[in-house]
Amino acid sequence: MRLTSVLSVPFAMVGRRTLDIATEMGGMTLMAGAILRRLFPPRVDGAELMRNLYNVGVKSFPIILVTGVFVGAIMVIQAGLYVEKYEATGFIGWGAGFATLREVSPIMIALMFNGRVGAKNTAEIGTMKVTEQVDALRTLAIDPVSYLIMPRFIAMVVMMTLLVVVGDATALIGGAFTSQFLLGVDVQLFFRSFVDLIHLEDFLLGVYKAITFGIAVGVVSCHFGITVTGGAVGVGRAVNDSVVASAIWIFVLNYVVTTLII
């Protein structure tokens, strides 16, 4: 009896985890469905949308700038090691730019966006939920999805795309400066190799990724926000779950988009 109960522990754990994951996946699908239904025809509160575009986009701007500069610097340092080894300074702009535009910049910007916007979104919707503000909306015959979630979702998708473009640009500028001052490679040379060897599709791949990341962060953070229970502790836990789920989606979608488009 005892032995069997000990043996069943790992199975119980796996089972519970699977059920949890299935529940969350189902919740996210429902959320995506609810959002999709309200997109055709679009049912969005205009003023709310503008306010959210501002909150999501403009307020994340400084963090994205800092992240972009860091990413550019890191990539140039890493590329610099190889460039020096093979004495191919002419390729530094390509080496750093290629990886930045296609992979690193979208992922890093998305992770920061997830932390800044996704987490905040879950926290805000979650706080409204635990303080019964969402129920109050319902009793006023206002659809919480149209009023609360749609503007946030649209703002996140739009701004994620634009912020990745901004992040790409700052990463390149940061990279160019790093290569000038740390590696002693001229900025002109950096950008010449970049312009010669980078194609539009490298940049577009990053943008496509950004759109899917925006959708993922939007759906996930709204889902975890609207399903919060259990007061302040519950809000903290939901934010934690939300950023983790979004991060997994970001990496999985990164893989999917990369293989689909190439």
| Distance in angstroms (rounded) separating the CA atoms of residues 34 and 143 | 11
DSSP 116: I
- The tokens describing 8, both together, are 């069943």
Tell me the HSE value of 106 on the side-chain side, using a 13 A CA sphere.
26
Site residue total, another protein (CB under 8 A):
52
| Distance in angstroms (rounded) separating the CA atoms of residues 104 and 57 | 20
Binding mask 202-241 for another protein (x = CB under 8 A): -----------------------------xxxxxxx-xx-
| Helix axes 119-130 and 231-261, enclosed angle (nearest 10) | 140
User: Scanning residues 11 to 40, which ones bind another protein (CB under 8 A)?
Assistant: none
Binding mask 78-107 for another protein (x = CB under 8 A): x-xxx---------------x---xx----
Measured from the CB of residue 250, what is the shortest distance to another protein in angstroms?
9
DSSP 101: I
Q: In this chain, which of 24, 27, 63, 177 binds another protein, going by CB under 8 A?
A: 63
Neighbour-count burial of 142, counting CB atoms closer than 10 A to its CB (0-12 exposed, 13-18 middle, 19+ buried): middle
Q: What angle do CA 175, 157, 129 make, to 5 degrees?
A: 120
Q: Which residues contact 137 (CB under 8 A, 6 or more apart)?
A: 143, 144, 147, 148
Q: In this chain, which of 30, 58, 204, 248 binds another protein, going by CB under 8 A?
A: 248
Q: Which residues contact 3 (CB under 8 A, 6 or more apart)?
A: none
Binding mask 109-148 for another protein (x = CB under 8 A): --xx-xxx--xx-xxx-xx--xx-----------------
74 binds another protein (CB under 8 A): yes
Q: In this chain, which of 31, 32, 73, 157 binds another protein, going by CB under 8 A?
A: 73
Residues in contact with another protein by CB under 8 A are 62-63, 66-67, 70-71, 73-74, 77-78, 80-82, 98, 102-103, 108, 111-112, 114-116, 119-120, 122-124, 126-127, 130-131, 182, 231-237, 239-240, 243-244, 247-248, 251-252, 254-255, 258-259, 262
